[in-house]
Amino acid sequence: MPGDLGLAGLSDGLMTTAVVVYSLAMLGYAGEFALGRGRARTPAAAGTRVLVGAGPPAEDALPEDAETGRPRPRDVGVLLGRAAVALTVLGWAFHLTQILTRGLAAQRWPWGNMHEFTSALAFSAVTALLVLLYRHRVRYLGLFVLLPVVLGLELASTVLYTAVGPLVPALNSYWIAIHVTAAVIAAGCFTAASAAAVLYLVVDRYERQRSLGRTVGMSGIAGALPGKEVLDRLAYRTLAFGFPIWTFAIIAGAIWAEAAWGRYWGWDPKETWSFITWIVYAGYLHARVTAGWRGRRLAIVALIGFGCFLFNFFGVNIWVVGLHSYAGL
């Protein structure tokens, strides 16, 4: 129908707009790093315990330089960070409208192929970032969450692009709204937690190299980040929230599989890698809560889990033949 084609074209245009706005937000977050947000990291400050969300009080104040009457570079960085948050919210609104128009154009739930899956996962990651920004003032995560989001949307717009069309018969069920939506929400949490884990490793390496008296090339980034304990706790809390949702997604998928194929579990590649991802994240939570693991080892486990998730999403969907081969490519 012409109207459907018009909505499909509008959806494609909105995705391009979202990518542009997210890219501008990335520049704002990068500018905040470059202009020195936060105090330079010192060994004493690095070991100070700080609650998640705590930040330097001067962040909300923008005093002027006494000689020139203009904002100092660090204060300009704060303004860039605030502008980046506003652009992130604007890009999120464009992105949400893109998903809605895609669904209206197809007259179905818009999770039917890799183009739509990737857009939904990117949207979930940005939503997780905005929730964390609202609750914990974690602007330092913005650049590192939006980078994979922009790359993912670029892939969705080019390599993974699929024209609007009907669902394959196996996906034509109300379970797609339950199972896939839960997986998408969990994926957003995994992405944000992985960004925190990467930043933990950056700060950890910086502090260890500095303690040995060595020159560290990432001092600018590390000096603008909070202490390791903050990043470790942020990754844990985000994963602790996303893991039960991933568990529910797997259970819902098993129920859907029984309705569609007459069995709950068949060790299909998608099922297998979903379970492997679940095992790794379960190991992460168990090691922290029961064995008392903290820090570098846990950050590595979190990134291994995210690697399993990415392979499950991209590798299994694109290169592995199975009952879940719905890439649409």
User: Residue 171 domain-assigned?
Assistant: yes
Paired residues of 64 in beta bridges: 71
- Kindly state whether residue 270 falls inside one of the protein's structural domains: yes
pLDDT for residue 244: 98
Specify the pLDDT at position 323. 58
Chain position carrying tokens 């944000």: 192
Residue 52 covered by a domain:
yes
Q: Is 261 within a domain?
A: yes
Tell me phi and psi for residue 64, to 5 degrees.
-95, 155
Q: How far apart are CA 289 and CA 248, in angstroms?
A: 21
| Exposure b/e, 73-104, CB count within 10 A at least 16 = b | ebbbbbebbbbbbebbebbbebbebbbebbbb
Q: Is residue 65 part of a domain?
A: yes
Task: Supply the pLDDT for residue 217.
Answer: 64
Question: pLDDT value at position 55?
Answer: 43
Range of the domain at 289: 2-319
pLDDT (0 to 100) of residue 70: 56
For residues 28 and 81, is the Cβ–Cβ distance under 8 A?
yes
| Number of domains the chain contains | 1
The verdict on residue 55 lying in a domain is yes
Tokens linked to 60: 């909300």
Provide the residue-wise pLDDT of the chain in tens; the chain has 329 residues: 444 778 999 999 999 999 999 999 999 999 988 886 444 444 434 444 444 444 443 444 444 554 555 555 568 888 999 999 999 999 999 999 999 999 999 999 898 889 999 999 999 999 999 999 999 889 999 999 999 999 999 999 999 999 988 887 777 788 889 999 999 999 999 999 999 999 999 999 888 887 777 766 666 677 778 889 999 999 999 999 999 999 999 999 999 988 888 888 888 888 999 999 999 999 999 999 998 888 899 999 999 999 999 999 888 888 776 555 555 55
In a domain, 67, yes or no: yes
Q: What local confidence, expressed as pLDDT, does residue 259 receive?
A: 86
Q: What integer pLDDT is reported at residue 112 of this predicted model?
A: 85
What span, in angstroms and rounded, lies between the C-alpha atoms of 317 and 270?
8
For residue 254, which amino acid is it? A
Report if residue 265 sits inside a domain. Answer: yes
Contacts of 240 (CB under 8 A, 6+ apart): 285
- pTM of the predicted protein model: 0.84
